[in-house]
Chain A
Amino acid sequence: MAISETTLKDTVLFLIDEQNKKGGVLGKKLEAVVVDPASNWPLFAEKARELITKNKVAVVFGLLDLGVAQIRAAGVQGVEQHPVSTPCNTRGRRANATCSYTGAAPNQQAIPAVDYLMKDEKVKRWVLAGTDYVYPRTTNKILEAYLKSKGVKQEDIMINYTPFGHSDWQTIVADIKRVRLGRQEDRRGLHHHGDANVPFYKELGNQGVKGDRHSGCRILVGEEELAGIDTKPLLGHLAAWNYFESIKTTANREVHQGLAGLPKNPKRVTNDPMEAHVIGFAMWVKAVEKVKSTDADKVIDALPGIEAPNLTGASPRCFRTTTSPSRCSLAKSRATASSMWCGRPRAWWPAMHGRRSSRAPRT
């Protein structure tokens, strides 16, 4: 977590610095208070408490979907009444009025990717794989229901989970290859999440699974993971996320250059959660300026409906989660992926709860 979250911390510091160069917010400079929960769930709650009660921060940027759940479960006083903006993917099934989830929910990423694979890649058999924690399990549950609603049979869906830190990828990749050998005429999609992207990609390369014959599609994989591995065996594999560094817009170029200019890592790549922070930060600034106050209640009330431009030309709106278009990309050499397709968010809940449902049920 530290590898990816350090860049997210740097992103917030960069955004604060840029905002201060413009005069700050409401005529006041922004001052960052950085704490380190050290990838430790209970420590997330303790550090959140420290920020809110001791440091009296106006807003918290950070956490994961699970981190928010953890600090809520720990009963951190003030969190329920405090603006929190988290840049990571969310299951989209838990509403919290004070928390802006600026990462994708399954309907903004996984389902559009499935639609693309079904329609354009003619995928018929599916492997839904993931690290064994709540986000992949919830996403795969939604995808399984969605696939069945599209007429895919149970025997054409393989589901597999691996524990955190799993290292034996030979068996799993062999199983996936066996699925292919069993039905030569079919192509299939594959989704993978969690901490397993890098070793999984490596094993695909080791076993000669080529992107052009495999039609695999990863979600939650971006430039940062690709930067750490030899991408040559991965050419042609697909990835779905809301942002890729290679998308050519002025805003993307400016932020990328700004972050790459940080002294700690001049070769830094930008990725989806970093863009999510850009969106969340801009939304909070807009909300504060709208109510002319940093008062938590006023800002929380002002946030829904506020739009902020992302780095790729769209303008997500703050609701329960932001609504970003999904993108599917083709892995390329060097740590980048080229955007080849862009889809609209799709509702998943009719597949699980019936066509009459007009909104996502709470869980």
Chain B
Amino acid sequence: MGPFAAFHACVREMHFMVTQITHDIATLSRRRWLAATAGLVLGLATFSTAKAADDTIKVGVLHSLSGTWPSAKPR
């Protein structure tokens, strides 16, 4: 291997390393971004659900909508 070939091999290796690092950083950033986005969406959903629940007062309605008079009655 001549000196040029060795130099090119070294450059390719460096380029590969830089590319790999960049890729790793990009992957990490994308993961972080996805995680952050998911967290944000989840947080907003939870917040809006809690807010919606907080904006209403639940009123229970307990009436028989089926059946006839009970066969066994309390005394």
For the residues of B in contact with A, the DSSP-based class is loop
Q: How far is the CA of A164 from the CA of B10 in the complex (A)?
A: 98
Write out the residue numbers on chain A whose beta carbons fall within 8 Å of the beta carbon of B66: 2, 36, 38-39
Write out the residue numbers on chain A whose beta carbons fall within 8 Å of the beta carbon of B71: 164-165
Confirm or deny: B3 has a beta carbon within 8 angstroms of a beta carbon on chain A.
no
Q: How far is the CA of A187 from the CA of B58 in the complex (A)?
A: 52
Q: How far is the CA of A269 from the CA of B72 in the complex (A)?
A: 30
- The B45-75 residues at the A interface (CB cut-off 8 A) are 54-75
A39-B67, A39-B69, A165-B69 known; A47 vs B56 contact (CB < 8 Å): no
Q: Does B73 contact A164, Cβ atoms closer than 8 Å?
A: yes
For the residues of A in contact with B, the DSSP-based class is mixed
Q: Does A28 contact B61, Cβ atoms closer than 8 Å?
A: no
Write out the residue numbers on chain B whose beta carbons fall within 8 Å of the beta carbon of A13: 61
Confirm or deny: A181 has a beta carbon within 8 angstroms of a beta carbon on chain B.
no
Question: From B67, which residue of chain A is reached at the shortest CB distance?
Answer: A39
Task: Say how far A73's CB is from chain B's closest CB, in angstroms.
Answer: 7
Question: From A41, which residue of chain B is reached at the shortest CB distance?
Answer: B70
A 19-42 to B, binary, CB cutoff 8 A, 1 in contact else 0: 000001110111111111111110
Q: How far is the CA of A113 from the CA of B12 in the complex (A)?
A: 106
Write out the residue numbers on chain B whose beta carbons fall within 8 Å of the beta carbon of A1: 64, 67-70
Stretch in A48-56, A142-150, A245-253, A351-359 touching the partner: A48-56
Write out the residue numbers on chain A whose beta carbons fall within 8 Å of the beta carbon of B58: 30-33, 55-58
Question: From A25, which residue of chain B is reached at the shortest CB distance?
Answer: B57
Q: Does A37 contact B64, Cβ atoms closer than 8 Å?
A: yes
Q: Does A70 contact B62, Cβ atoms closer than 8 Å?
A: no
Q: How far is the CA of A30 from the CA of B56 in the complex (A)?
A: 5
Range class of the A interface residue count: 35 or more
Confirm or deny: A302 has a beta carbon within 8 angstroms of a beta carbon on chain B.
no
- The A138-164 residues at the B interface (CB cut-off 8 A) are 164
A41-B73, A134-B74 known; A30 vs B67 contact (CB < 8 Å): no
Write out the residue numbers on chain B whose beta carbons fall within 8 Å of the beta carbon of A56: 58
Among B58, B64, B72, B73, max chain A CB count under 10 A is at: B64
A32-B61, A57-B60, A62-B60 known; A2 vs B70 contact (CB < 8 Å): no
Task: Say how far A23's CB is from chain B's closest CB, in angstroms.
Answer: 12
Q: How far is the CA of A322 from the CA of B38 in the complex (A)?
A: 54
Confirm or deny: A215 has a beta carbon within 8 angstroms of a beta carbon on chain B.
no
Confirm or deny: A133 has a beta carbon within 8 angstroms of a beta carbon on chain B.
yes
Write out the residue numbers on chain A whose beta carbons fall within 8 Å of the beta carbon of B70: 1, 39-41, 164
- The B12-71 residues at the A interface (CB cut-off 8 A) are 54-71
Write out the residue numbers on chain A whose beta carbons fall within 8 Å of the beta carbon of B61: 9, 12-13, 32-35, 60-62
Task: Say how far B66's CB is from chain A's closest CB, in angstroms.
Answer: 5
Write out the residue numbers on chain B whose beta carbons fall within 8 Å of the beta carbon of A70: 74
Question: From A284, which residue of chain B is reached at the shortest CB distance?
Answer: B59
Question: From A57, which residue of chain B is reached at the shortest CB distance?
Answer: B60
Question: Per a CB cutoff under 8 Å, which of A5, A24, A133 touches B65?
Answer: A5
Write out the residue numbers on chain B whose beta carbons fall within 8 Å of the beta carbon of A57: 58-60
Closest 8 CB pairs of A and B: A39-B67, A62-B62, A57-B60, A51-B60, A5-B63, A60-B60, A31-B56, A36-B65
With A33-B59, A36-B65, A37-B62 known, 7 other A-B pairs at CB within 8 A are: A2-B67, A13-B61, A25-B57, A41-B72, A44-B62, A60-B60, A194-B69
Sampled A-B contacts (24; CB under 8 Å): A9-B61, A9-B65, A12-B59, A12-B61, A12-B63, A25-B57, A26-B57, A29-B55, A29-B56, A30-B59, A31-B57, A35-B60, A35-B61, A36-B65, A38-B64, A41-B70, A57-B60, A58-B57, A60-B60, A66-B74, A67-B62, A69-B74, A165-B71, A194-B69
